[in-house]
Structure 1
């Protein structure tokens, strides 16, 4: 049983240090990591792992950080890994992040000093109701904070430091994995499973205190290209078929009250255009397609194609190409085969004095893909809120509970071994 207490404020200091390092990923870059600056944080994490005694800590050429906390028990146990990602979202600037600690939060509006139009209100952030008396960390108003997922990094590092320092807390071999490029869907593209050498694990990348997510969206990406007919606009009558206008008509024909992120929640999926580009002759749209079952995902892809064909029927000289590619799949299909992994996660949360909430996530994690690579991997809360935005925040006390949960997971697997 762990007796972790964050007496010296090392957890908040660790998190703030990571948050200040710009690690924004870039979907347009073909490299791995997509931005070299992610390695700046990777190097810092390796240095800290070596300092706490994780002697094999290293970062590979692709920016993945690995390390081993050796077993200190005679029992033959499965090898567990804990994983968080180093990059922050391209949706909001991560440059010159200035974290601010709001001590002893009492429910007030948090007006961020570098842009006082950015206000974090309890009425907009329901989880703040449970944070009275806690210490809230925000950014300063011009950037995201990066709690997604630097809270998870700090929590895993803090748990690793505790386990290395307290050999009386018994556990099997534990692996640490820090990944680049999770925010752009490439978080485990180049992970070295042999080097990781684990049986299963837990991503620490969830939101609300106590949540454990064993179900994610299944996800496809779609690229639609419209080939129109371009002519001189002064002589276009009866000849021109603008790919831009055809694409606009297709987008306008998609449902507005269903099948779109703005109108769906819980277990409802969607078709979501995320970018468009083009000229009269050729225009392109990128979509993400999401739902919880592969069957519904296929239906959404078919519906998109039906809509395209219906519009194209009006433009006999134009054509289209629709490419749909799998991105990741609902990890529940894998995790249901290994119920102990989630059960022990729930017990670990409850041992930390928190009510466990088993949930689905309307998104994906590195664990979605790791589960299909043979490493079942649910997602544990890190305490991050309002991610990908300037209103992002995290509670120091929630982060402490996440550290306790990580340590408890290690203990429970040893006890039951």
Structure 2
């Protein structure tokens, strides 16, 4: 069996460089991509792809970067690897300062920019297994951005190894780096055709050995609340406060015990993640999640009922709800042909890992790719505690993911 290098140092250098480039997406922006700063990462990747000798390098007008590693075995299938460059809007991601805890000794990890923040292995069993690893964190005021710049680093390292190592048998490899995945816009309708692969993998997963082919089905909801405005000094029996109507809706939904903080495993939820406005008008933003379509339909009906109940409780106010489709559970398509999943499982075993498949309590670009005709399971990167200041990743976990990708590509060619 082919022996591959450790890759940890190259991955660390790449991840630190990528995370230091601001690239947060913005769901309220109509632009494509939603923020211009994402193109800073994309231009960095274009230059790096040119340096390592990739072919067909393209920065599309919808903000994705595409490239090719030519085949050494033209009989092998064309496979794609995909990762997203944007970081989540839910937490500060401006001015990220990555820190490398080389050969981490297993002690609590503190943060120079936030003395109150501590990453404790006693509270995180998975972290406790990483003693001796090179652990990468942020500095305390931002998320890290390993979601999904670790995936970007892994794919770039895979590509560089294939381009600089003669004698490896592999098919044509296509690379895709997308913007706006965190706001559900990562896969432009033109991308599947432009990608041009038989199947693909997103590198956007967590623990070593995890191969995911099941995700939430997802909708988004926006409730626009209009109250009745009046001077507060003369408001008796006139004013209808839109913020009170909004609070009624949120409180109504909280009574079900089906919010993110009260659910896990295969439970779905309705999550109110944003409120804007004042006493005259207000806007509530929701995400609706479930693994099954009937469950998602039930959550749409529940949110609709909460808005109707608020209107009834506050005569004169309106709560207009718009629900839009986001993505669907990729299992609906992948379970019809598990070839990409089985190939990844075999590659994990080649690396000495026991593969594990768990449902993603979220979604990836793979969800949209799969729905649009490109089968696309999700592979692990090692990222942990994402979307917050305690986010961390092991360079050795990333190296393991890199080797699994290489084993997958060479196995597919044999």
Greater shift, 133-142 or 371-380, is seen at: 133-142
SS of the equivalent of 1:384 reads coil
Distance across 1 between alignment mates of 2:233 and 2:114: 48
Report the Cα distance in structure 1 between the residues aligned to 2:49 and 2:257, rounded to whole angstroms: 47
Greater alpha carbon shift after TM alignment, 186-195 vs 239-248: 186-195
* 1:380-400 Cα distance to aligned partner (Å, 9 max, x none): 001111111111111011011
2:77 counterpart residue number: 78
Mapping for residues 141-180 of structure 1, pairs under 5 Å: 141-180=140-179
Corresponding residue of 1:211: 210
Per the TM alignment, residue 191 of structure 1 is displaced from its structure 2 partner at its CA by 4.7
Within a 5 Å distance, the mapping from 1:224-235 to structure 2 comes to: 224-235=223-234
Tell me what 2:96 maps to.
Answer: 97
How far 1:214 sits from its partner (Å)? 0.7
Offset from partner CA, 1:1-21 (integer Å, 9 cap, x none): 542213682221122111111
Report the counterpart of residue 238 of structure 1 in structure 2.
Answer: 237
Flag the 1:35–1:309 CA change in 2: closer, same or farther, 3 A.
closer
1:74-132 Cα offsets, whole Å, 9 max, x none, are 42x33210000111112223333222221222321011122222211112322112212
CA–CA distance in 2 between the matches of 1:212 and 1:342?
A: 7
* Aligned positions of 1:328-367 closer than 5 A: 328-367=327-366
Structure 1 residue 242: Cα displacement: 2.2
Task: List aligned pairs for 1:354-393, cutoff 5 A.
Answer: 354-393=353-392
The aligned counterpart of 2:308 is 309
SS in 1 for 2:213: strand
Cα distance between partner residues in 2 of 1:95 and 1:284: 26
Q: Is the 8 A contact 1:64 1:191 kept in 2?
A: no
Deviation at residue 156 of structure 1 after TM alignment: 0.6
Aligned residue number for residue 261 of structure 1: 260
Q: Equivalent residues in 2 for 1:61-140 (5 A)? A: 61-75=61-75, 77-140=76-139
8 Å CA contact retained: 2:8, 2:395: no
- Kindly indicate whether the alpha-carbon contact (under 8 Å) linking 2:8 and 2:398 is maintained by their aligned counterparts in 1: no
Under a length normalisation based on structure 2, what TM-score does the superposition of the two structures give? 0.95
Cα distance 1:309–1:174, how it changes in 2: closer, same or farther (>3 A)? same
Q: Could you tell me whether the CA contact under 8 Å between 2:143 and 2:390 is conserved in 1?
A: yes
Work out whether 1:27 is the aligned partner of 2:27: yes
Q: Which moved more, 1:247-256 or 1:322-331?
A: 247-256
CA displacement 1:333-356 (0-9 Å, x = unmatched): 011112111111111122112221
| 1:225-263 deviation per Cα after TM superposition (whole angstroms, max 9, x unaligned) | 223222333333333322221221121122346210110
Kindly report the root-mean-square deviation, in angstroms, between the aligned alpha carbons of the 2 structures.
Answer: 1.7
Instruction: Count the aligned residue pairs.
Output: 414
1:252-331 counterparts in 2 under 5 A? 252-256=251-255, 258-331=257-330
Partner SS, residue 284 of structure 1: strand
Q: Residue in 1 aligned with 2:12?
A: 12
Question: Does structure 2 conserve the Cα–Cα contact (< 8 Å) formed by 1:256 and 1:263?
Answer: no
How far the C-alpha of 1:60 sits from its partner, in A, is 1.9
**Contact 1:2 1:407 (C-alpha < 8 Å) held by counterparts:** no
| CA 8–314 in structure 1, closer or farther in 2 if over 3 Å, else same | closer
Unpaired runs of 5+ residues, structure 2, are none
Cross-structure match for 1:37? 37
Could you tell me which residue of structure 2 aligns to residue 3 of structure 1?
3
* 179-188 vs 2-11, which moves further: 2-11
**1:175·1:196 contact (CA, 8 Å) conserved in 2?**
yes
Q: 2: CA distance between counterparts of 1:189 and 1:37?
A: 18
* Structure 2 counterpart of 1:405: 404
What secondary structure, in the 3-state scheme, does the structure 2 residue paired with 1:116 have?
strand
- The CA distance in 2 between the partners of 1:55 and 1:74, in whole Å, is 16
- SS across alignment from 1:253: helix
Secondary structure of the 1:220 match is strand
Q: Secondary structure at the match of 1:219?
A: strand
